Structure 1
Amino acid sequence: MKTSHLIDLLATEAGPAPRALPARRIGAVVPFGWLASIAATLVLLGPIPASLWAEPAPWIKLAYAGGLASGALWLTTRLARPVARTGGPVISIVAVVILMALLGLTTLLAAPASERLAALLGHSWARCPVNVLLLSLPTLAGALWALRGLAPTQARAAGLAAGLLAGAVGAMAYALSCIELSAAFVALWYSLGIALAGGLGALMGPWLLRW
């Protein structure tokens, strides 16, 4: 039997691959990764004072990280299939980053010149990206595991997307402990932590996701 005939026979009445499978498989691991990161945050770092919830800062952090997580989840599920169309997810991620950057820049320029560096660095600029990266690891492990059971053909891009998803989830958890109030701080250091998680995913993708 010729190879082409065998392929035709195997494909007869097979129907299209289920589109919802990647979203179900990847989306299922995100809550577990987030809960693990939240537990680590509260146990190891402690929660923010309850009074801070009256400030806009925690909500800005959660909204930014949540928006990135949504776009990155969309991108990851697209890249879990061959011949992925990634234009929409990429645009959504870039749009969220630009909006956060504009908000951070606006608040920074509105502050007195003598206070801008302090607003940008805060009290924890050196720890923030590292903490976000570390808190991303549970979700990154789960997302890469989920991708291994699917059909990504762009391993590095899929790993990058999984890393961005994990970084955003880690940032959402870290926001529960972070006392920084400056939007400029969030725009810079949270973004750096999420980017580090994306870079780690991109490094691991070709190793873990190759067929």
Structure 2
Amino acid sequence: MTDTQSLIDQLAQNSAQPERNPVVPFALPVIAIMALCGMGVALVFSEPFLSVDLYGWGPMVVKWGFSIALLLLCVPALWILGKPGRRSRWAMALLALPFIPVAGLLVFELAIAGVVVAGETWARCLAAMAVMSPIAFAGAIMAMRTLAPTNTRRAGLVAGLFGGAVAMTAYAPFCPEIGMGYMAVFYCLPIFAMAAIGWLAGPRLLRW
């Protein structure tokens, strides 16, 4: 048998084998890391939804609405970026949507009350974001490595956004602080920092 015929036979055998479903290996780290962060903050912090008791649901809806929307947009973006040949520009553009109302509310608050970023629990907030964001980022990287991302910088950036969004979603119910200035400094800036880390580290962490 010639080498060419052997190659043809091998390709035919490989094509006959059922392809591995990539959804489960991708989804497991994503779901596990979200559950881990949620359980972690529940064990460490007390008095959830204190801000709701003090100020009503408005501030909580804004914080959770932003973080959950970003989180839900990051997951399909990670999936799309992990599939070679898929166009990802529209998925990247959609990631900007949660930031638009936040920016609008921040401008409105600055016009009405000026710069207000102080909060008694700011150090706890930064600590929570600093601990959970890298953990969730690592989960996103693990999920992406089950696929075949080719634009590793863009994939790393989205993994960083995902890490920050998971951290904020998990911690927000335990944060008594309100105000768009506080949210911009102690939530959005750490999320941007995590995205920048992902952009820089993506090519090394996601190469295959």
Q: TM-score, normalised by structure 1?
A: 0.79
1:127-176: CA deviations, max 9, x gaps? 53453232123322222112112111122221221111111011101102
Identity of aligned residues (%): 29
* One-letter amino acid of the counterpart of residue 62, structure 2: I
Q: Deviation of residue 53 (structure 1)?
A: 7.4
1:174 corresponding residue in structure 2: 171
2:93 corresponding residue in structure 1: 91
Instruction: Give structure 1 stretches of 5+ with no counterpart.
Output: none
Q: Deviation of residue 186 (structure 1)?
A: 1.5
2:30 corresponding residue in structure 1: 30
1:179-198 to 2 correspondences below 5 Å = 179-198=176-195
Q: What's the RMSD between the two structures over aligned residues? A: 3.0
Call closer, same or farther: CA 1:64–1:13 in 2, change over 3 Å: same
Corresponding residue SS for 2:173 = coil
Q: In 1, distance between residues paired with 2:77 and 2:158? A: 6
> Which 10-residue stretch deviates more, 31-40 or 170-179?
31-40
Q: Is the 8 A contact 1:105 1:184 kept in 2?
A: no
Structure 1 outlier segments of 4+, above 6 Å: none
1:53-81: CA deviations, max 9, x gaps? 73311221111001111121121111111
1:68 corresponding residue in structure 2: 70
Instruction: Give structure 2 stretches of 5+ with no counterpart.
Output: none
2:79 corresponding residue in structure 1: 77
Q: Is the 8 A contact 2:30 2:143 kept in 1?
A: no
Call closer, same or farther: CA 1:107–1:6 in 2, change over 3 Å: farther
| Residue 111 (structure 2) pairs with residue 109 (structure 1) | yes
Aligned length: 201
1:44 corresponding residue in structure 2: 44
> Which 10-residue stretch deviates more, 83-92 or 6-15?
6-15
Compare CA radii of gyration and give the structure with the larger one. 2
Q: TM-score, normalised by structure 2?
A: 0.80
| Residue 102 (structure 2) pairs with residue 100 (structure 1) | yes
1:205 corresponding residue in structure 2: 202
Call closer, same or farther: CA 1:57–1:78 in 2, change over 3 Å: same
> Which 10-residue stretch deviates more, 142-151 or 32-41?
32-41
Q: Is the 8 A contact 1:107 1:183 kept in 2?
A: yes
Give the alignment partner of residue 140 of structure 2, picking from 137, 140, 143.
Answer: 143
